[in-house]
Each structure stands twice: as structure tokens, then as C-alpha cells.
């Protein structure tokens, strides 16, 4: 199994779950926006990524949800430094990790 592809698929699945969560808990977006503001203030993340996320998070919620699950290069790149850490419980994240790995093993 290609470790890089596995990481990309896990990240995409995580963000699919986050997109679904945004639909029922708009607070997820405010927490992500707050995290990005912190990145910009503290330079914790390369400024390019923080500004890109700031632009994405300024979109309407439906557009944000769509962006989170895009397979394009920009979305994939930004998912590597996500402001949505903590949006899902550890149990949810582990289920995603396990399910994606199992799905990829079956497809191999």
C-alpha cells in the first residue's frame, strides 16, 4: 500500500467528516477561523497556507464544505495543514483511519 496515497485518502475522509459536521455545527467554522487567526498572529504555519485558509474560510459554508472534499491540488495541499484539528473526536478519527486503510487494502 502506498503510504502517501493512504495519507491523502485519510485526510480526504477526515475532511469529508468535517464537512458533514459543519452542516450541523457551525461552531466548527468559527473554531477553524480562530485557529487561522492564531496562525497569522504567531506565524505557527507558513503564512501562505494561513492566508489561503483565511480566504477559504471567508466563503459561505456550502462553498467551504465543497472545497474540503475537492480532489484538486490546492485543496489537497491545504488539507496537509488543516485548521480543523479537534473538529472530530479521537474515536471518530481512528475509525476513519481504520476504515480508509481497510478500504485501500481491499482495493489493492
pLDDT tier for residue 1 given thresholds of 50, 70 and 90: low
Q: How many domains does the structure of the chain reveal?
A: 1
How many angstroms separate the CA atoms of 27 and 31, rounded? Answer: 6
pTM of the entire predicted model: 0.90
The set of residues, in sequence order, having a beta carbon less than 8 Å from that of 105 and lying 6+ positions away, is 1
The proportion of the chain whose per-residue pLDDT surpasses 70, expressed as a percent, equals: 99
pLDDT tens for each residue of 8-23: 999 999 999 999 999 9
Q: How far is CA 20 from CA 26, 29, 49, in A?
A: 10, 12, 23
How many angstroms separate the CA atoms of 77 and 82, rounded? Answer: 10
Its domain, for residue 23, covers 3-107
Amino acid at each position: 500500500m502506498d503510504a502517501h496515497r493512504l495519507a491523502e485518502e485519510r485526510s480526504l475522509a477526515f475532511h469529508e467528516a468535517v464537512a458533514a459536521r459543519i452542516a450541523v455545527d457551525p461552531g466548527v467554522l468559527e473554531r477553524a477561523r480562530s485557529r487561522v487567526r492564531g496562525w497569522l498572529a504567531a506565524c505557527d504555519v507558513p503564512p501562505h497556507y494561513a492566508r489561503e485558509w483565511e480566504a477559504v474560510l471567508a466563503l459561505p459554508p456550502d462553498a467551504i464544505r465543497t472545497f474540503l472534499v475537492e480532489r484538486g491540488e490546492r485543496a489537497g495541499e491545504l488539507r496537509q495543514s488543516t485548521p480543523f484539528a479537534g473538529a472530530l473526536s479521537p474515536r471518530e478519527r481512528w475509525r476513519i483511519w481504520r476504515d480508509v486503510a481497510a478500504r485501500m487494502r481491499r482495493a489493492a
